[in-house]
Chains A and B, each alone.
Chain A
């Protein structure tokens, strides 16, 4: 066993060292030069570290497991490795042991070291909570099961391209499953963590068992080795990777959203109250029409708001044209249940800057810590104008107990500190639509944030909103938006979004074609969905056909899926497959459309040959035999 472990370590130890220094070094260095709340182990769960651990666990696990098997196959060393007086479980056990050592070095040790480092050397060391460390370690439990999955895929009798395709799909499906598992509401965090760890280790055991059974059979092309176990994961993977990928594409593509990205007119409000579409150039801001044609060669002056990024209103301009601040509202919804839920609100606010009259506002942050275990909320006021740890030492955050009024439907949290100066607004980070930001003065703060209608409505009720966007029409992809006065509700401007010009229409065609490849089940769901409140479901749905916006696209999609399902079932019937198999693949293809067809090609690459029970007789045409006597 020692020799086997030593052999497996040969390549892995180099990767382990690189991974260790990459992971831990990244955290340490970043915290030294650019302190970030998201990377700390204080009260909130370190979101970026959680993502890093999750992604690293998934990728390192699947890739290492796959490579450990694929390399043996690729080098034709399987027979050499297996043919010795060691049982196969021990041989694969050595690979697993080394992989787990790798995970410990790359995923577990850095987290522990980082916790020790922060608690020892950070001026905020007293705030370090070891529950957060534990949560990160729980996330690392994904690695062993992902490793088993990778090994199983490596044993499949497929081409390398086929194996990688299956690996990607299965890994994505596995990630979807793991995320679901992490968000399951359970009685207590401890129970949640136990379930997560237990399920992952059980899965690791199951995958390794399957991989062991397949390890030798994978060399036999007529004995298709257990891809059925991967089909559910692959289906999940399709949903997890393909549909959001298209959703992302839809967000950056210039379809009708072209109007929302580059074509979304900058809307500015003049001191007189007039709202205008503007574009900003180095020479200044110019008023444009709905097609973005410049209406005047003279730059505009005395406008209040400007929008300079694609997805957020982030910059506030003073009436005299000076930039006030560059804000990016960030907010995360706290989860009151679930084992791992401690995400904070992190709210950017603008604070009066008394030191530089040219920049009357500076960015500041307020972190609201939901202490799930204790059932209380704390706030830390973080002047992010001094984000570095060195300067942070002189401006320690106040930990202020606050009373929080949550209205998650409206995406609003109102928190009042003891001093009564804070009044925060937070938004669902992934909620849509984010149409317009607004600014409102509250005490000595200027609040700048994206808005949803509800929130704006709330703010409007408080008399704080200067302008208010209202979306009209059911087509969320090409909406008409009315900009209204926040106080009088007077319509100041109406803008209709949609493709303009041959380039945008061309892109519209491309994206429409891609959209046809989306799953009918999702398209159907979208078709009946008028509005999306749940961000996760919104990611899965197809905005193009939401609310029967484009029935011809919906029908084309369904027809394509039906045709593919027909082709798949006919192929299977010709091969003499069982009715259950035909029905199963037909349903998968019908529901997942072209992606289901791809899955079919991946998992059913071979004719369903049944080994002959009665061998055909040999027919030698000549034979010379001797008994050697």
Chain B
């Protein structure tokens, strides 16, 4: 079965600065894929390229098997979109938003939208810009869902929401997406949300995808440990097995390790004078470890796993 969303070695620069460097991943049918990255990591650029609003300078992308640059109205009807900042026309009342969508989308399921609006107690007769940010995001999501898309693309839908609103929106999102079985690609930089909803996570860092794995895989394969070494203050970490990242701490180092087997464990214990028990990092910890630029971080060059 064709992957509904596919990036193939996508490159893109802005005024000479490379924002995407060989982005290459796929979203499988029915999968909810979270594309994570810091601000400016290239998430929105990837989304815009995916939907044909921006031309890649190398590589290609496709949605539902159609090249992004060739997406026609019929193809767009099959793709739901929640834009960055969940933009709607603020002066429209919620009812007018439904009218507008109903009049401009052939597949718009108004009954579905009205049903969920009532269920979520969203006011029909209030202008969108008078709704809370969380309500606006929910309306945007509902509108996109009511188009009965086969693929849903959401560009940082929780952006600008405070924790309470974000929680409300997340609940609505889980509620709406839970039963649908749609393929979803959404970008975010808020990790706690992602763990609850995503099947698979991609972490975009400096234009490259440095993580592309299922959430379960990450929990199972990645561990964090504290180690102390004798001798030079910075040992040759690239000789250590499974090290993804090393962060200097008082009296030692925090190690982020992946796929450590028994042999690796033995090597680590031989080298270190002290080694803590493995701990499973949260997605947020993993994200921060992989994308932060603190001075004490030493990146490890290595092969992919």
Q: Given that A76-B87, A77-B89 are contacting pairs, would A616 and B100 also be in contact in the complex, using a CB cutoff of 8 Å?
A: no
Q: Are B213 and A624 in contact (CB under 8 A)?
A: yes
Q: Given that A3-B102, A615-B57, A620-B304 are contacting pairs, would A86 and B73 also be in contact in the complex, using a CB cutoff of 8 Å?
A: yes
Q: Are A618 and B9 in contact (CB under 8 A)?
A: yes
Q: Which residues of B contact A625 (CB under 8 A)?
A: 211-213, 304-305
Quick one: which of B21-35 are within 8 Å of A by CB? Answer: 21-24, 28, 31
Q: What's the least CB distance linking A624 to chain B, in Å? A: 5
A216 interfacial by beta-carbon distance below 8 Å:
yes
Q: Are B58 and A612 in contact (CB under 8 A)?
A: yes
Q: Given that A77-B87, A615-B57 are contacting pairs, would A622 and B81 also be in contact in the complex, using a CB cutoff of 8 Å?
A: no
Q: Which residues of A contact B302 (CB under 8 A)?
A: 622
Contact with B along A215-228 (1 / 0, CB 8 A): 01001111100000
Quick one: which of B285-305 are within 8 Å of A by CB? Answer: 290, 299-302, 304-305
A180 interfacial by beta-carbon distance below 8 Å:
no
Q: Are B208 and A223 in contact (CB under 8 A)?
A: no
Q: Which residues of B contact A4 (CB under 8 A)?
A: 100, 103-104
Q: Are A618 and B73 in contact (CB under 8 A)?
A: no
Q: Given that A80-B88, A611-B55 are contacting pairs, would A624 and B105 also be in contact in the complex, using a CB cutoff of 8 Å?
A: no
**Selected contact of A616 from candidates B11, B55, B90, B217, CB within 8 Å:** B11
* Secondary structure class of chain B's binding surface, majority of residues: mixed
Contact with B along A395-417 (1 / 0, CB 8 A): 00000000000000000000000
Q: Which residues of A contact B177 (CB under 8 A)?
A: none
Total interface residues on A, CB under 8 Å, equals 45
**Selected contact of A219 from candidates B53, B105, B199, CB within 8 Å:** B53
A606 interfacial by beta-carbon distance below 8 Å:
yes
In the complex the two chains form, what is the Cα distance from A83 to B87 in whole Å? 12
B51 interfacial by beta-carbon distance below 8 Å:
yes
Partner-contacting stretch, out of B12-20, B168-176, B275-283 = B12-20
Closest A residue to B103 using CB positions: A3
Quick one: which of A297-311 are within 8 Å of B by CB? Answer: none
Q: Are B103 and A607 in contact (CB under 8 A)?
A: no
B54 interfacial by beta-carbon distance below 8 Å:
yes
Q: Given that A80-B88, A220-B55, A615-B57 are contacting pairs, would A628 and B214 also be in contact in the complex, using a CB cutoff of 8 Å?
A: yes
Quick one: which of B187-237 are within 8 Å of A by CB? Answer: 199-200, 207-214, 217-218, 221-222
Q: Given that A85-B74, A609-B15 are contacting pairs, would A623 and B88 also be in contact in the complex, using a CB cutoff of 8 Å?
A: no
Q: What's the least CB distance linking A199 to chain B, in Å? A: 33
Q: Given that A3-B100, A79-B83 are contacting pairs, would A222 and B213 also be in contact in the complex, using a CB cutoff of 8 Å?
A: no
**Selected contact of B299 from candidates A1, A10, A621, CB within 8 Å:** A621
In the complex the two chains form, what is the Cα distance from A611 to B69 in whole Å? 16
Q: Given that A77-B89, A85-B74, A86-B73 are contacting pairs, would A618 and B102 also be in contact in the complex, using a CB cutoff of 8 Å?
A: no
Q: What's the least CB distance linking A575 to chain B, in Å? A: 12
In the complex the two chains form, what is the Cα distance from A584 to B91 in whole Å? 46
Closest A residue to B303 using CB positions: A623
**Selected contact of B104 from candidates A3, A77, A616, CB within 8 Å:** A3
Q: Are B53 and A622 in contact (CB under 8 A)?
A: no
Q: Are B77 and A85 in contact (CB under 8 A)?
A: yes
Q: What's the least CB distance linking A322 to chain B, in Å? A: 64
Total interface residues on B, CB under 8 Å, equals 71
Q: Are A80 and B87 in contact (CB under 8 A)?
A: yes
B252 interfacial by beta-carbon distance below 8 Å:
no
Q: Which residues of A contact B137 (CB under 8 A)?
A: none
Q: Given that A79-B83, A606-B15, A615-B9 are contacting pairs, would A85 and B57 also be in contact in the complex, using a CB cutoff of 8 Å?
A: no
Q: Are B104 and A623 in contact (CB under 8 A)?
A: no
B273 interfacial by beta-carbon distance below 8 Å:
no
Q: Which residues of A contact B5 (CB under 8 A)?
A: none
In the complex the two chains form, what is the Cα distance from A172 to B40 in whole Å? 40
Closest A residue to B99 using CB positions: A3
B76 interfacial by beta-carbon distance below 8 Å:
yes
Quick one: which of A588-629 are within 8 Å of B by CB? Answer: 606-607, 609, 611-626, 628
**Selected contact of B83 from candidates A2, A76, A617, CB within 8 Å:** A76
Which residue, of A7, A75, A607, A621, has the highest number of chain B Cβ atoms within 10 A? A621
Q: Which residues of B contact A223 (CB under 8 A)?
A: 55
**Selected contact of B210 from candidates A219, A222, A617, A622, CB within 8 Å:** A622
B106 interfacial by beta-carbon distance below 8 Å:
yes
Q: Which residues of B contact A85 (CB under 8 A)?
A: 73-74, 76-77, 104-107
**Selected contact of B212 from candidates A1, A75, A84, A626, CB within 8 Å:** A626
B79 interfacial by beta-carbon distance below 8 Å:
yes
**Selected contact of A612 from candidates B23, B57, B88, B218, CB within 8 Å:** B57
In the complex the two chains form, what is the Cα distance from A626 to B101 in whole Å? 39
Q: Are A618 and B208 in contact (CB under 8 A)?
A: yes
Q: Are B13 and A83 in contact (CB under 8 A)?
A: no
Contact with B along A1-29 (1 / 0, CB 8 A): 11110110010000000000000000000
In the complex the two chains form, what is the Cα distance from A2 to B102 in whole Å? 11
Q: Are B100 and A7 in contact (CB under 8 A)?
A: yes
In the complex the two chains form, what is the Cα distance from A75 to B84 in whole Å? 11
Q: What's the least CB distance linking B58 to chain A, in Å? A: 2
B117 interfacial by beta-carbon distance below 8 Å:
no
In the complex the two chains form, what is the Cα distance from A87 to B74 in whole Å? 9
In the complex the two chains form, what is the Cα distance from A216 to B49 in whole Å? 12
Q: Are B81 and A79 in contact (CB under 8 A)?
A: yes
B59 interfacial by beta-carbon distance below 8 Å:
yes
Q: Which residues of B contact A612 (CB under 8 A)?
A: 11, 13, 57-58
Q: Are A611 and B81 in contact (CB under 8 A)?
A: no
Q: Are B15 and A623 in contact (CB under 8 A)?
A: no
B258 interfacial by beta-carbon distance below 8 Å:
yes
Q: Given that A84-B73, A607-B15, A615-B22 are contacting pairs, would A626 and B213 also be in contact in the complex, using a CB cutoff of 8 Å?
A: yes
Residue contacts A-B, CB under 8 angstroms, 30 given: A10-B92, A76-B84, A77-B88, A78-B53, A80-B87, A84-B104, A85-B107, A221-B14, A221-B15, A223-B55, A606-B15, A612-B57, A613-B58, A615-B9, A615-B22, A617-B22, A618-B11, A618-B22, A619-B208, A620-B208, A621-B208, A622-B245, A622-B299, A622-B302, A624-B221, A624-B244, A625-B305, A626-B212, A626-B221, A628-B214
By Cβ-Cβ distance, the 5 closest A-B pairs, closest first, are: A3-B103, A615-B58, A618-B22, A85-B77, A623-B304
Beyond contacts A79-B81, A83-B51, A219-B48: 11 other A-B pairs, Cβ-Cβ < 8 A, are: A4-B104, A77-B87, A78-B53, A79-B87, A607-B16, A621-B210, A622-B210, A623-B212, A625-B212, A626-B213, A628-B213
Chain A contact residues, CB within 8 Å of chain B: 1-4, 6-7, 10, 75-80, 82-87, 216, 219-223, 606-607, 609, 611-626, 628
Chain B contact residues, CB within 8 Å of chain A: 9, 11, 13-16, 18, 21-24, 28, 31, 48, 51-55, 57-59, 72-74, 76-77, 79, 81, 83-85, 87-92, 99-107, 199-200, 207-214, 217-218, 221-222, 244-245, 258, 290, 299-302, 304-305
